[in-house]
Structure 1
Amino acid sequence: IFGPVIPIAALFYLGDSGFVKIIGDYLPKGSHGIINDLGIALSQTVPLNQYVSAITLTGVGVITGLDGSGFSGISLAGSIANLFGTALGHGTATLTALGQIAAIWTGGGTLIPWALIPAAAICKVDPFELARRNFLPVLIGLIVTTVVAMFLL
């Protein structure tokens, strides 16, 4: 399940400021990194609005949160939020918060990060049953948070 996350995240990290640190300063002046430059060029071609941005950041947060911790995807969500915020001209902070919240809520399996297994152990319940019962509230929370972020943008 987690195998595809590593190369995808590495691609984004290298496309951001990591490129200069690893490869060297070969990018043209004014460049924000390969992936960010491609994203800005794509946003010039494909209409990018607050709805697409919010849904995409929620999706990125959910995908990166699948590793279980919820915090590993924060820098990736922040990089993409910076990219979309630059393309939109506003809303970078809102998009960053949305991506981070989605990663943390998904990663913990509950609305409280990392609380699923400890809470199940303390209450002596099956963690799989707890995750199953928390799925709908977490999903509703993600949807409501995404809609609110759309209005804030």
Structure 2
Amino acid sequence: MLLVGAFAVAAVSAMVPLVNIEVYLGVVATQLGATDHVRLLALAATAGAGQTLGKLCWYVLAARSMESRWVQHKLDVGTRRHRVDVWHARVVGRPWLTAGVLALSSVVGMPPLMLLSVVAGSVRVPLGVFVPTVAVGRTVRFWAILAGVGSLAGG
């Protein structure tokens, strides 16, 4: 039940900024401690999967919005379409750089992952780069929170 709860809270927190998965995991870590490494890793991976699913929703919404008439009309103003095309070319031409920025955002939170998820969808970062990078980055972040708070809690 703990894993189901972590997945659900993580997925919701990925979509709704007022819900904070880090606080939730911190509270869970105070109860678990830091001694059961397998359980902490499973919890971190489950929360990472939930966050990835939520961020994927933002990605898909941004990608689909780029196809709308309204956005297409807005892109026709000035140099906007050219700027989007330039960013798309940068992303496609540099998958390691793209993965690096996504990984940094996933682990550290700067730049904000929600913002990067929208940008990634709008410039069509390949899902084969986006999904595993976010999943691994979030898992690392959540494991660090669980292990750190768990050890401070005396586990």
Q: Taking structure 2 as the reference length, what is the TM-score of the superposition?
A: 0.35
Q: Taking structure 1 as the reference length, what is the TM-score of the superposition?
A: 0.36
1 or 2 for the larger relative contact order (CA 8 Å, sep ≥6)? Answer: 2
